Amino acid sequence: MKFFVDTADVSEISAMAQTGLLDGVTTNPSLIAKSGRKMAEVIAEICALTTGPVSAEVTATDYETMLAEGRYLRGIATNVCVKVPLTEAGLRTCRALADDGTLVNVTLCFSAVQALLAAKAGAAFISPFVGRLDDIGQDGMTLIADIVQIYRNYGFATEILVASGRHPVHVLAAAKLGAHVATMAPSTIRALFKHPLTERGLEAFLADWKKTGQSIL
């Protein structure tokens, strides 16, 4: 499974990249707004920190302007992945950009039939939002299972990018189902490292080693 970090904070992305576990980055207008910087500058800086895809989202809602924004965004760096919403205009834009060889991430997916449409439109990634479904009492991972099955049935190349994951259990469930990517906030990625027994075991090992009075170096 690929790990993408969901942030526009360049310092966080740099720190995650240094772990060697980062495969890409996702951003959205809300995250860019939090940075307080111009979108093009932020995206260019992020693209220099990773060779993986960096999702940069259009802000228009009509086809013509979406397409123009998408073409502008893809010109920022070779690893830009244009993100479009799962609307009729968004899917039309997806098809046009994909036909030109642009990677497209179709976002705000909340149903399996929406995911089917995105794959047919040539999306490189589909972003189902599992956490937001959980928030309204639906099971986000059921959606992932449905999309996995449909894509396997027809051999679609679109990668399932699990978005809005809130905790390690979401990541585990998505990996077991065969999703290709999980995008997470930096805090969620850091939570994957932690287990109380790991911390307890390390403390015991270090305490025993200290008693020997030795040093490896």
Query: pLDDT, tens digit, for every residue of 21-39?
Result: 999 999 999 999 999 999 9
Yes or no: say if 105 and 26 are a contact pair by the CB < 8 Å rule. yes
Active site residue 83: yes
Catalytic residue among 83, 120, 194, 210: 83
Q: Output the six-digit token pair for 167.
A: 């905790």
Chain-wide mean pLDDT for the chain?
Answer: 98
Assign 108 to helix, strand or coil: strand
Q: How far is CA 98 from CA 9, 75, 118, 185, in A?
A: 28, 14, 11, 27
Instruction: Read off the pLDDT of residues 187-213 as tens digits, 9 standing for 90 and up.
Output: 999 999 999 999 999 999 999 999 999
- Model confidence pLDDT, tens digit, residues 88-126: 999 999 999 999 999 999 999 999 999 999 999 999 999
Q: What is the pLDDT of residue 110?
A: 98
pLDDT tens profile 117-152? 999 999 999 999 999 999 999 999 999 999 999 999
Determine the average pLDDT of the residues in 10-24.
Answer: 97
pLDDT value at position 46?
98
pLDDT in tens, 48-80: 999 999 999 999 999 999 999 999 999 999 999
pLDDT for residue 142: 98
- Average of per-residue pLDDT across 144-166: 98
Percent of all residues in the chain with a pLDDT value above 90, rounded to a whole number: 100
**Segment 157-163 mean pLDDT:** 98
Asked if residues 8 and 34 have their Cβ atoms less than 8 Å apart, the reply is yes
Is CATH 3.20.20.70 what the domain over 2-212 is classified as, yes or no?
A: yes
